[in-house]
Every structure is written in structure tokens, then in C-alpha cells.
Amino acid sequence: MAVDVLVETVIDRPLAEVSAFAGDPSNAPRWYANIRSVEWRTAPPLLVGSRFAFVAHFLGRRLAYVYEVTEHVPGTRLVMETDGRPFPMRTTYTWEPAGAGGTRMTLANSGRPTGFAAVGAGVMARAMRAATTKDLARLKRLLESERSGA
């Protein structure tokens, strides 16, 4: 069973600011509640072929995985794919103008759990949707509060 989760939000900040912040893996621990750390495996800046390792906690488990950037159109789209552990996953960010100076951001995760993880794919998809929705809300609060100086 495939896991496909897509969430979106509108952030009241300019597209260039949102995409630069959200598209920088070094910032992930600031807005993803479950990501504990990130380590660049290739030197910045972010380019197709860039690799970085994440350590996260999800559904009570420690997860360590490596992403590789497979597509990068600055300010528009970022696609990253894991190395297959704990299961193959593709994460896609998109950004587009929204309203007067705002940005619509989408965050999609798709993959096909294997082995034991496949048994709980439905539960995993629901948990991923809930977590990703909260993460985008956290990103929105963070970026909008920086603008207001809060």
C-alpha cells in the first residue's frame, strides 16, 4: 500500500523568503517537530545531487535517513528522495504566489513501505498527514512572527 500525503498552507510572507527558508535543510529542525538533526553529506548550497542525513522521531521510533535532491527549481519546486531506508520516500515542496505578497506552499510525501512497515501503511499515512499539517502550521507561525517581530 502506498503512502501519499499532500498538505498546503498560505504563509503571509514573500515567496522568495518562504522558499529560501523552507528549502534549506539546515532549517528543518526549526519547523519540523519530529526532526531532531540534519547533517549535510555534500557541501552547501542546495543543488540537484545534494545529500543530507536526518534523524527524526516518528510514531515512537527513531528514524535515520538520507535524502538526495532530485529536482530543484529555486523559488518554485524542491524534490528530495530517501535512500530507501527505512522505506523509499519522496518529499516535494512547491511554492507559488498567493494574495498580496503571500506564498502558497505545498508539502507532499509519497512512498511505498516495505516489510513490517507495509502492514501499518494506513496508520502511517494518517500520522504523516497530521504531523505534516502541524509542521506547515509551525512554519507559518515562525515566518509570520519573524515579520511582526514577535
CATH number at residue 72: 3.30.530.20
Per-residue pLDDT of the chain (150 residues; tens, 9 = 90+): 678 999 999 999 999 999 999 999 999 999 999 999 999 999 999 999 999 999 988 767 788 899 999 999 999 999 999 977 767 899 999 999 998 999 999 999 998 866 545 556 677 788 889 999 999 999 999 999 976 555
Q: What integer pLDDT is reported at residue 6 of this predicted model? A: 97
**CB hemisphere CA count around 24 (13 angstroms):** 11
Write out the residue range of the structural domain in which residue 110 sits: 3-148
Question: How many domains does the chain fold into?
Answer: 1
Q: What integer pLDDT is reported at residue 59 of this predicted model? A: 67
As a whole number of angstroms, the distance between CA 92 and CA 23 comes to: 10
Whole-model pTM: value is 0.90
